[in-house]
Amino acid sequence: MHNIIIEKLKVIVKQLAIAFFFTAFFIFLTLTITKTKIDKAINFINSFAIIQNNSKGTTKNIQINTVTKRLVEYPNFGDIWARIIINSADIESNVYHGDTLDLLKYGVGHHAGSYFPGEGGTILIAGHNSTRDFGRLPKTQIGDEIIIKAVYGTYKYKIYDYEIIEAKALNEKLEINDNKEILMVYTCYPVDTPGYKSKRYVIYASLVGDSNE
Amino acid sequence: MNKKLKIIGSYFLLFIESILLFIITMLIVSKFTVLNNNYVKNNLEKNGYYKDLYDEIITEMSYYTNQSGFEDSILENIFTLGELKYETNKFIENTYKGKSLTIDDSKMRERLTNNINEYIKNSGFKIVDQKEINKFIDTMSETYKDEITLMGYASKGANILTKITSYSNRLIIVIFVAIIILILLNHIVLKRKESGIVFFTASFIILFCNYYFRNNIDLNNLFVYSNLVSKIAKYMINNILSISIIISIVYIVLGLILCIIKKIKKSY
């Protein structure tokens, strides 16, 4: 009986050892022949792996370098980094970094590809036409003041123009440049009738003063 | 035949058998999981997909209500969870059959129109342009359909899915026949009975693939189309990996049984 058990164990060990050798040989063959393709496939799959950050917190420790005219550190996507105030139209709202529809549900959004106040370029801010956000934007007039209270300073702008454009023409019309600090604020138009809005009401304002806090 | 040659030939056949067993295992696992619409529907149900999808559609629609001068109240009861589940399941079944499907949104449109009319009546708005209202309803309808059909991406993959299913069915039959032939060759012609090796090897390869996949793919952060789809995809991948581990354990047990049986026969 004892011998039978030892014989059985010997067979099992022998077959396991051969199986182990077969596996190692198979892995060696596969990796040698298709390593590049496997790596490519893994990289492709991992390219879909993203660390999602849907932060809607407030960014606090942001400063602007007055020499380079660039923020030392940028807010996270979805963070509140300023308040926009247009007294003449009774508008005051939080400004989020990013202007996706998800963020616009909470307040107005700053287009992530545009500049920040103080950086000397185009600043693009969008908001829904509800009364909480930019519903009263068409009540503003040329010469009215827009204040942006950012976490790193307060910036004042004066409205010098406005226009109504087709939503389709938005990208073409609202060009982002770095040669002059212009604030562009827009909302869906018309604001006082229900239905799908295919137009945008845009106001243009230029920088008139700033105070770094 | 030379004894040494017999042994080498036998091991070579066992090695091929092992690889074929591994491949057929993977194909059968796929056939009963990702290539099976009932498996997908069961997993959607288990993970509360329909309720999450319902909430997501309402959230997506609410993005447009804000910009269109409406309130979210117009979205109340415009479609039911049952209707959404029915349309989603119908869509999945058709995708697996390689057929295209038009989502029925007629009831949803009717209820939304009623809610809008009620809202306009109560809020005192004047309709300046009926086209804007109609376009809003069209947009809501598109949102409803896009969310169910994953923006049409699923339909685009439908043809590939049916092809894969068809090929894998044929491949399973071919590999099965090949395995039987190899077993017969080994047992009858070469007179060697070490089939335990085949199960052990297939099991080790499955375990290695499992380990390699888990260590090289950032599964926790995998993002496929949307958070909702990613959640289901991650669940299904983990489930398939768990199934493959169970299969590899079963193969090891089968290998051990074959080893023991063989020795018993020899002992008597």
Residue B201 clears pLDDT 90, i.e. is over it: yes
In a domain? residue A137 = yes
pLDDT above 50 (res B96): yes
A45 lies in the same domain as A77 = no
E strands in A62-197 = 64-65, 70-71, 80-86, 91-97, 108-110, 122-126, 145-150, 153-166, 182-189
Alpha-carbon distance of B161 to B188, in angstroms, equals: 40
Q: Are residues B129 and B144 in the same domain?
A: yes
Please check whether residue A113 is in contact with residue A177, taking contact to mean a CB–CB distance below 8 angstroms.
Answer: no
**Per-residue pLDDT at A19:** 92
For residue B171, tell me if it sits in a domain.
no
pLDDT tens-digit map of B245-255 = 999 999 999 99
Residues B13 and B99 in one domain: no
Is the CB of A15 less than 8 angstroms away from the CB of B68?
Answer: no
State the sign of the Cα–Cα–Cα–Cα dihedral B104, B110, B116, B122: negative
A195 and A163 share one domain: yes
Question: B170 lies in a domain?
Answer: no
Q: What is the mean pLDDT of residues B152-174?
A: 84
Nearest chain A Cα to B72, which residue?
Answer: A105
Based on the domain organization, do B194 and B242 belong to the same domain? yes
Identify whether residues A126 and A86 lie together within a single domain.
yes
B49 part of a folded domain: yes
The token pair at B125 is 């708005």
Instruction: Check whether residue A192 and residue A148 sit in a common domain.
Output: yes
Q: Does residue A70 belong to any structural domain of this protein?
A: yes
Chain-chain contact of B135 with A27 (C-beta, under 8 angstroms):
no
CB A135 within 8 A of CB A197: no
Residue of chain B whose Cα is closest to the Cα of A15 = B197
The secondary element (H helix, E strand) that includes residue B260 is helix B227-267
Consecutive H or E run containing B231 = helix B227-267
Q: Which residues of A touch B197 (CB under 8 A)?
A: 15, 18-19, 22
Instruction: Out of B155, B189, B219, pick the residue that ends a domain.
Output: B155
How many Å apart are CA B256 and CA A13, to the nearest integer?
10
Short-list A128, A29, A18, CA closest to B192: A18
Percentage of chain B beyond pLDDT 70 is 96
- Of A96, A1, A8, A130, the closest CA to residue B257 belongs to A8
The reply to whether A37 and A134 lie within a common domain is: no
Q: Which of A196, A198, A199, A201 to mutate to test the interface with B (most CBs of B within 10 A)?
A: A196
Residues B211 and B199 in one domain: yes
B130: tokens are 């009926």
Q: Is residue B29 part of a domain?
A: yes
Domain carrying residue A35 = 1-49
Tell how strand A122-126 and strand A153-166 pair up.
unpaired
Per-residue pLDDT tens digits for B9-51: 889 999 999 999 999 999 999 999 999 999 999 999 999 999 9
Q: Would you call B126 and A51 a contact, using CB atoms and an 8 Å cutoff? A: no
For residue B168, being part of any structural domain is answered with: no
Domain count, chain B: 2
Chain B CB contacts of A19 under 8 Å are: 18, 196-197, 200-201, 203-204, 255
AA identity, residue A159: I
Residues A29 and A99 in one domain: no
pLDDT in tens, A101-119: 878 888 899 998 899 999 9
Is A198 inside any structural domain? Answer: yes
Q: Does a structural domain hold residue A57?
A: no
Grouping H, G, I as helix, E, B as strand and the rest as coil, residue A64 is strand
- The answer as to whether B169 is a domain residue is no
Same domain for A13 and A83?
A: no
Q: Which residue range forms the structural domain that includes residue B139?
A: 41-155
| Residues of chain A falling short of pLDDT 70 | 47-60, 212-213
Question: What domain count does chain A have?
Answer: 2
Residue A56 lies in a domain: no
Residues β-bridged to residue A98: A110
Chain A residues inside the 8 Å CB shell of B205: 23, 26-27
The partner residue sitting opposite A50, judged by closest CB among B60, B116, B223, is: B223
Shared domain check, B260 and B194: yes
Q: Is residue B268 pLDDT above 60, yes or no?
A: no
Do residue A25 and residue A96 come from a single domain? no
Residues A171 and A84 in one domain: yes
| Residue range B211-244, pLDDT digits in tens | 988 888 877 777 777 788 888 989 999 999 999 9
Claim to verify: residue B78 and residue B142 sit in the same structural domain: yes
Whether residue A178 is found in the same domain as residue A91: yes
Report yes or no on B164 lying in a domain.
no
Does some domain include residue A125?
yes
Check CB contact of A184 with chain B, cutoff 8 Å.
no
ipTM: 0.79
First to last CA, chain A: 90
Is the Cβ pair B259, A11 closer than 8 Å?
A: yes
Q: Quick check: A156 and A210 in contact, CB under 8 A?
A: yes
Chain B residues closer than 8 Å to A47 by CB:
none
Number of alpha helices (DSSP H) and beta strands (DSSP E) in chain A: 3, 10
Domain of residue A124, CATH code:
2.40.260.10
User: Cβ of A50 under 8 Å from any chain B Cβ?
Assistant: yes
Residues B70 and B23 in one domain: no
Distance of residue A157 Cα from the nearest chain B Cα, in angstroms: 25
Does A59 fall in a domain?
Answer: no
